[in-house]
Amino acid sequence: MSEITFSKEEKSILVDKLKMYFDKELGQEVGQFDCEFFLDFISAEIGSYYYNKGLSDAQSIVTAKMEDISDAFYEIEKPTNVQNR
C-alpha cells in the first residue's frame, strides 16, 4: 500500500476540522502545527484501517454487481439441446 497523502488544500481542510473538534468537543485550543503532526500520525498509524475498510466495501459492491451481471447473462440464455455438466 502506498503512503496516505493529501494535497495542501485537503490537508488544510482536515487540519481545520481537527482544530474545530479539539476546540468544540474537548475545549482545547490546538495550533496549526500540532494538528498537522496529529493528522500525519492518524494517516500513518490509523489510516490504513480506514483504507482497507474502503477497499473491502468497494470489493463487496463489485462482487454484488458481478453476480447481477452473471444472473442477467443466465436470464437471456437461449435453450439448447446440449446439457450443461
Q: What is the pLDDT of residues 26-75, one digit of tens each?
A: 999 999 999 999 999 999 999 999 999 999 999 999 999 999 999 999 99
* Confidence (pTM): 0.70
Cell of 17: 476540522
For the residues 9-31, what does the mean pLDDT come to? 96
Q: Taken in order 35, 39, 42, 45, is the CA torsion positive or negative?
A: negative
The 3-class secondary structure across 57-77, one letter per residue, is HHHHHHHHHHHHHHHHHHHHC
Assign 3 a pLDDT band (cuts: 50, 70, 90). confident
